[in-house]
């Protein structure tokens, strides 16, 4: 059973078709970099995977569970699918520790002590062990995003989605976030990243998925796809972002 399976997925906002017959299969342990121009449907695709956005036709399966089925308990699904957003979306009224432990306590019913131990552990993994009692607004953007990643990790997900997680950061702060992502990838996490960081994609992704006009336009192993694009659209996109 594949970790993620999309079969002929289409999605519209009114007359605008943002996903057009997308099919894609992702196996456990893969690191997928989704690239493409703004408006190509990359972020929408990611948001459909954990049910934040409904789809109009097709099927999305995660670990054999159909996401777009009204009978599916999305909450249960989301415990296994972490998502990290471009704008961090930390809870500003809660400390770093409470941001991380909220869901483990409420959803996984962990005791406060147990949850706090896990928070310390995931913070150490993102290099912020000393910030456990800080408030989000005391942290830099890069640190906030690392806390957001730690918050996701604390739920021990089987799949992690990253939606342009470095796009809102100053260039000197993207490095620290990318290093955290590298660490997560090395631990064998199945990851899907919508990204503009071609350097990161080249080194850590196992596969490139290029989206164009709501379709998976081209995909394949990273090195080969980036050095020998098959379609004119990917070629011109790569020329634009690499130069």
Partner 1 sequence: MIREFGTGDIVYLVFAARWTLALTALAFAGGAIVGLTLAVLRISPLAPLRFLASLYIQIVQGTPLLVWLFLFYFGLSIAGLPVNAWTAAALAYSIYGGAFLGEIWRGALIAVAPTQWEAGASLGLTYVQQMRHIIMPQAVRIATPPTIGFLVQLIKNTSLAATIGFVELTREGQLTSASTYKPFAVYITVACIYFLICFPLTQWSRRLEERFNVAR
| Contact residues: partner 1, CB under 8 A | 50, 52, 74-76, 78-79, 81-83, 85, 87, 89-93, 102-103, 106-107, 151-152, 155
Closer residue to partner 1 (CB): 103 or 198: 103
- What would the two tokens of residue 104 be? 């483990």
Closer residue to partner 1 (CB): 177 or 208: 177
Minimum distance of partner 1 from residue 234's CB (angstroms): 30
Closer residue to partner 1 (CB): 78 or 215: 78
Residue 141 is inside which H or E element, if any? helix 141-153
- What would the two tokens of residue 57 be? 């036709």
- Residue 85 CA to residue 193 CA, distance in Å, equals 11
Minimum distance of partner 1 from residue 43's CB (angstroms): 12
Minimum distance of partner 1 from residue 76's CB (angstroms): 7
What residues pair up with 218 in beta bridges, in sequence order? 210
Minimum distance of partner 1 from residue 85's CB (angstroms): 7
Closer residue to partner 1 (CB): 28 or 87: 87
- Residue 1 CA to residue 105 CA, distance in Å, equals 31
Coil, helix or strand for 131?
helix
Report how far apart, in Å, the C-alpha atoms of 212 and of each of 47, 96, 163, 192 are.
17, 38, 17, 17
């Amino acid at each position: 059973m594949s970790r993620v399976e999309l079969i002929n997925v289409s999605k519209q906002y009114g007359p605008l078709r943002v996903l057009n017959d997308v099919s894609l299969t992702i196996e456990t342990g893969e690191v997928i970099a989704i690239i493409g121009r703004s408006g190509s449907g990359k972020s929408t695709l990611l948001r459909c995977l954990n049910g934040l956005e409904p789809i109009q036709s097709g099927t999305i399966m995660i670990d054999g569970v159909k996401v777009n089925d009204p009978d599916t308990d999305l909450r249960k699904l989301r415990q296994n699918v972490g998502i990290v957003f471009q704008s961090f979306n930390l809870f500003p009224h809660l400390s770093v520790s409470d941001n991380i432990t909220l869901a483990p306590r409420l959803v996984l019913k962990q005791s406060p002590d147990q949850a706090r131990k896990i928070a310390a552990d995931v913070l150490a993994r993102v290099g912020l062990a000393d910030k456990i009692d800080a408030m989000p607004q005391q942290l830099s953007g890069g640190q906030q995003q690392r806390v957001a990643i730690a918050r996701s990790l604390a739920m021990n997900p089987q799949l992690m989605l990253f939606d342009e997680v470095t796009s809102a950061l100053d260039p000197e702060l993207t490095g620290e976030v990318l290093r955290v992502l590298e660490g997560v990838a090395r631990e064998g996490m199945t990851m899907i990243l919508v990204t503009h960081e071609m350097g990161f994609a080249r080194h850590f992704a196992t596969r490139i998925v290029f989206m164009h006009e709501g379709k998976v336009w081209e995909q394949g192993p990273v090195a080969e796809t980036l050095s020998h694009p098959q379609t004119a659209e990917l070629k011109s996109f790569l020329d634009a972002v690499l130069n």
